[in-house]
Amino acid sequence: MKKTVFLLCMLLCLTGTFCIAASHKVKEEQRYKIAVCDWMILKRQKIGSFQLAKELNCDGVEVDMGSLGKREMFDNKLREPHFQQLFKEKSKEFGVEISSLAMSGFYGQSLVARDNYVDLMKDCLLSMKAMNVKVVFLPLGVACDLNTYPELRPEVVKRLKVIGDMAAREGVVIGIETSLDAKGEVALLKEIDSKGVRIYFKFQNPLEAGRDLYKELKILGKNRICQIHCSDTDGVNLPDNKRIDMKKVKKTLDKMNWSGWLVVERSRDTRDVHNVKKNYGTNVNYLKSIFQK
């Protein structure tokens, strides 16, 4: 009897150990998740983005707030409960998360030229709350390029402080993209001095400027980077890109103990630039082969 009890105890211990090990393995495999930008796969704020993202083998999709242009507000469907429910249902149906929201309209618009920037941020924060999203992407864009227009810096800092504090009160983060190098971004974050603002790092920027991508990541460090646009400018797909050593990227991020969403924005093959499934399917599966082995 004692021998039987002993064997049962041993079996339970071994099973428990196996389960813990398996759990750790699953957790490690999900340390990096892969997503795509809905506007780049031609599905900006469309529920079809979830099915397409699933076909591309994505874990998630970055949903845009809608185009801005000369409008007063974003062309944002996520204000409406009907669309909020539809997006949630499609996300669940296809097992594709919303990695983040994006204010991509500010690629072409100026944050400092918008008198209603607080209202735009309120719209975004309400959408984030409705969709249970913790990060929103905000590019400073051409009009607020601090290298080109350093005189805009005081107003940019002031406005980012305001909307950053708004985000912090809601427990979410604004991820800004700038043209500055990593040391410049560290200084900018210190100047903004808001827990609600971090860096949304994009590989394309240091690569285009001839800077050391891996060194830039290290300088910024784990806590200043909220998410990463894990792609280069258009030219070739990621597997054929000779100026990114993706294994070295992973090793760098591993050493930093960083984890989170890697979002594919560009890196389209210009010989077949409109082939969404080929370009993004190739890029997503390549990143998964590196980061989710």
Distance CA 52, CA 41 (A): 8
For the stretch 76-85, contacts whose Cβ atoms lie closer than 8 Å and that sit 24 or more positions apart, written own/partner, are: 76/45, 76/123, 76/127, 77/45, 78/45, 78/127, 78/130, 78/131, 79/123, 79/126, 79/127, 81/130, 83/47, 84/130, 84/131
Class of the CATH-defined domain 31-291: alpha beta
Position 128 pLDDT exceeds 90: yes
255-289, pLDDT tens digit by residue? 999 999 999 999 999 999 999 999 999 999 999 99
76-105, pLDDT tens digit by residue? 999 999 999 999 999 999 999 999 999 999
Q: According to the model, what pLDDT value does residue 20 have?
A: 36
Q: For the residues 183-210, what does the mean pLDDT come to?
A: 98
Domain residue spans of the chain: 31-291
Q: For the residues 166-185, what does the mean pLDDT come to?
A: 98
35-58, pLDDT tens digit by residue? 999 999 999 999 999 999 999 999
The pair phi, psi for residue 101, each rounded to 5°, is: -100, 165
Distance CA 96, CA 116 (A): 33
The model's confidence at residue 184, banded by pLDDT at 50, 70 and 90, is very high
Q: According to the model, what pLDDT value does residue 29 have?
A: 54
Position 133 pLDDT exceeds 60: yes
Whole-prediction pTM value? 0.89
146 in Cβ contact with 140 (< 8 Å): yes
Q: For the residues 209-231, what does the mean pLDDT come to?
A: 98
Position 123 pLDDT exceeds 50: yes
Position 132 pLDDT exceeds 90: yes
